Structure 1
């Protein structure tokens, strides 16, 4: 059975870090209201990618998304005609946030639903208070209507570039999504269909990544190996390949004098190994964990 890390990768978020423990804390601990995950980190839109991938990895049939910085949110599936009150006054259109939250509440009555609220720092503070009421009371009020969520089915993901409203934070479980993986994966030649003659190259790459303070994922490492076999012949080639393949690598760090020796060792080891044996196959199927 695929691990959570493998399921996340299938849906567009790849990391060496394992989030099984955090997910268990969120889903299996007692909750007073709507279970809420606060996704923090320095990963910029990696946080959004994580939220979307996690929702799909969990297999929830309904995934709804709202971005508070989106000036032109998508139109709802059903557009209601303008309505008037008993005095003939036209009622204002429903706000996109009200539309998406009320839909999430309705969907959760019957089936598991994930609601992702992104870029919450751009929302009016009053909306933070309303979201807190949703989490505590599993209900959402729009004009004179009230929508109730099923806490057993609704899961709320909050993403903000600034700290959440204190009361809302207290109702959430925080997870950190970094710009880089925090866990260094230990790769061996046999993981990629290579014999032990490739160990010198793998050792040189491990030293290089420690110097860069970088932790490449399996697919990134696979692509880099292919570049070293097929294209990279010089230190400059290797710099370009590293920047092109490894997410989060600082371009300026690649030109630091202290890194030159590490880069040269990788090129030398790759040249020695290329005369010995190449990986079986050159397609991306080798990169599947």
Structure 2
């Protein structure tokens, strides 16, 4: 059976980090109310991708999503009927959050369901209080109508760029989803190369260490392919790194202090792959590396 990391990669979230422990703590704990996961981490939509991929990797039948920054959210499948007051006047439309959470509660009665509440920092503080009540009491109140959630079926994922309301934080399990910084010891044979490419992978590891980055498997696979067929100069390597590896800062790549590490990758590529193309290192003190055309390496 594939690992959680592999299943999440199949659904769009690739990482060198393994979240098996955190997810096991969440799912195997005895909840007082609903199980809630507080997805914290670096800025950007990586946390949103994590939440969606985790829900799919867990095989949840229903995934209900609400983004507090979305001004035109899609209509949910469960539409609450309009209501009237005691004088017969029709009340205002049901708010999108109420429609979404009510649908999640209804779906959880029959099937495993995940409710993803994204960009929670944009929500009014009063909504934080209501969400806390949902997690604690398994009930969502829409005006005078209560909607009960099945605690055995409904998971709540809370994604926010800022700290959660204190009480809501205490009712959830927090997980950190940041940019990859863990360098794996990749085997060249995993990428269709033989052991002669070990020097190239060592040089790449040193480069990524200086950049403070760690590529995922697919990112490294694309980069190695570029090294074999497209990259001939230091500037090519810079552009390929920026194009392939999520999280790399453009200004950091342009810093001349990284030139020696970039040149080491190019030199290791020449030695390891025996490219038939001419590789020219420009803009640094290191002289051009001549090609080894015509050599038959066996």
Q: Displacement of 1:271 after TM fit?
A: 2.1
Is contact 1:183–1:215 with CA below 8 Å preserved after alignment?
yes
Q: For the residues of structure 2 that align with 1:198 and 1:256, how far apart are their CA atoms? A: 27
Alignment correspondent of 2:75: 75
CA contact under 8 A between 2:79 and 2:99: conserved in structure 1? Answer: no
CA distance in 2, matches of 1:227, 1:254: 17
CA shift digits 1:217-271 (9 cap, x unpaired): 0000000000001100000000000000000011111122221011111112212
Counterpart check, 1:46 vs 2:49? no
Q: How does 1:92-103 map to 2 (within 5 A)?
A: 92-103=92-103
Match of 1:167 in 2: 167
Q: Secondary structure at the match of 2:36?
A: strand
Identify unmatched segments of 5+ residues in structure 1: 278-289
Alpha-carbon offset, residue 85 of structure 1 = 3.3
Deviation, structure 1 residue 78: 5.3
In structure 2, the partner of 1:247 is: 246
Give the CA deviation at 1:80: 5.8
What displacement does 1:31 show?
1.0
Question: How many pairs does the alignment contain?
Answer: 276
TM-score by length of 1: 0.92
Distance in 2, matches of 1:156 and 1:17, equals 22
Aligned position for 2:232: 233
Contact 2:38–2:174, Cα closer than 8 Å, also in 1: yes
How much has 1:276 moved relative to structure 2? 6.9
RMSD: 1.4
1:160/1:186 Cα in 2 relative to 1: closer, same or farther (>3 Å)? same
Shift of 1:109: 0.9
| 1:55–1:63 Cα contact (<8 Å) kept | yes
Deviations 1:136-194 (A, max 9, x none): 1000110110010010100000011111111110000000111x213211112122121
Between the aligned partners of 1:165 and 1:199, the Cα distance in structure 2 is 49
Is 1:198 matched up with 2:187?
A: no
Any conservation in 1 of the 2:196–2:273 contact (CA below 8 Å)? no
What are the residue-to-residue correspondences of 1:1-289 with 2, within 5 Å? 1-77=1-77, 79=79, 82-178=82-178, 180-275=179-274
Distance, in Å, in 1 between the alignment partners of 2:141 and 2:78 is 19
Whether the 8 Å contact between 2:64 and 2:115 is mirrored in structure 1 is: yes
Deviation at 1:37, TM superposition (A): 0.2
Rounded to whole Å, the distance in 1 between the matches of 2:199 and 2:209 is 16
Distance in 2 (alpha carbons) for counterparts of 1:112 and 1:78: 16
Highest CA radius of gyration, 1 or 2?
2
Q: Please state whether the residue corresponding to 2:141 is helix, strand or coil.
A: strand
Q: Calculate the TM-score normalised by the size of structure 2.
A: 0.89
Superposed displacement of residue 214, structure 1? 0.8
> How much does 1:79 deviate?
5.0
CA distance in 1, matches of 2:245, 2:47: 18
Task: Give me the whole-angstrom Cα distance separating, in 1, the residues matched to 2:116 and 2:78.
Answer: 20
Bigger relative contact order (CA 8 A; separation at least 6): 1
Bigger Cα displacement from structure 2, 9-18 vs 250-259 = 250-259
- Displacement of 1:91 after TM fit? 1.4
Segments ≥4 residues shifted beyond 6 Å = none
